[in-house]
Structure 1
Amino acid sequence: MGFSLFGNKDSTDSDRSIWEGLRSMDALETLLKNSEARPQVIFKHSTRCGISRHVLRNFENDWDSKESTEVYLLDLLAYREISNAIESRFGVVHQSPQVVVLYEGKPIFHASHQSIDAHEIGQHIKAMVNGSR
């Protein structure tokens, strides 16, 4: 594993094991299908933005890996068409960095920039899942 302060072509694949890559429209469709059973978290990240990198690291450090959800990392520079599809399909205006949580086929939470708080997102997911049973 390497360390790069300014990012590189592999910078979307964090050294943390929490991430799944979101690299195709087919993967987005699979994620959407999986959201019917459990929440899916999408972290939209710009590899050229220092703020995005900082928020990403904070999220990684604070995310409770015991959450019963998959967490996807979307590299906005490489896969902008996926971000555009998320915006048009779910009505969530594009931001970077941004977290969008999908559950039962629809967005249940989104936050951007410094408002991204892994603990708050986890609590929101728990409340939604427990409330829908």
Structure 2
Amino acid sequence: MNWNKLTNESQLDAIKEESATQPVMIFKHSTRCSISSMALSRMERNWSDAAGIKPYYLDLIADRSVSNQVADVFGIQHESPQVLLIQNGTCVYDASHMGISFDSVKQAV
């Protein structure tokens, strides 16, 4: 799985633009949380580039302000871990904790 790192609030505009031509997934990960580590591992094990979804990885500990901006820009409540699926500039699906799975993201596309 080839993650694109989300480290700057200015990237959110680019993500919204990208999502007009291909679905974009943002995975918000806490490096201090075992549930987050399990969700990340499960996502990586089951990932398929064939689904055509561009994946972004956001480290909540290192880039908390970016995480807050993600919640504001896409109108979702912050959770950790959390996955968001962005299409046409809008969050069309989000899940947290044990609800995070590649199959669920793929079905939401």
Q: In the TM superposition, what whole-angstrom CA distance separates every residue of 1:19-55 from its partner, at most 9, and x where no partner exists?
A: 1100111222211110111110000000111110011
Looking at both structures, which has the greater relative contact order when contacts are Cα pairs under 8 Å and sequence separation is at least 6? 2
Long gaps (5+) in structure 2: none
* Amino acid across the alignment from 1:25: E
Q: Partner of 2:55 in structure 1?
A: 71
Determine which of 39, 44, 48 is the counterpart of 1:60. 44
Greater C-alpha Rg: 1
Q: Partner of 1:115 in structure 2?
A: 99
Given the two structures, how large is their TM-score scaled by the length of structure 2?
Answer: 0.95
Q: Distance in 1 between matches of 2:101 and 2:25?
A: 13
Give the total of aligned pairs: 109
Q: Partner of 2:25 in structure 1?
A: 41
| Alpha-carbon offset, residue 84 of structure 1 | 0.6
Long gaps (5+) in structure 1: 1-16, 126-133
1:51 matches 2:35: yes
Superposed CA RMSD = 1.0
Q: Partner of 2:67 in structure 1?
A: 83
| Alpha-carbon offset, residue 62 of structure 1 | 0.9
SS at match of 2:43: helix
Q: Distance in 1 between matches of 2:75 and 2:11?
A: 19
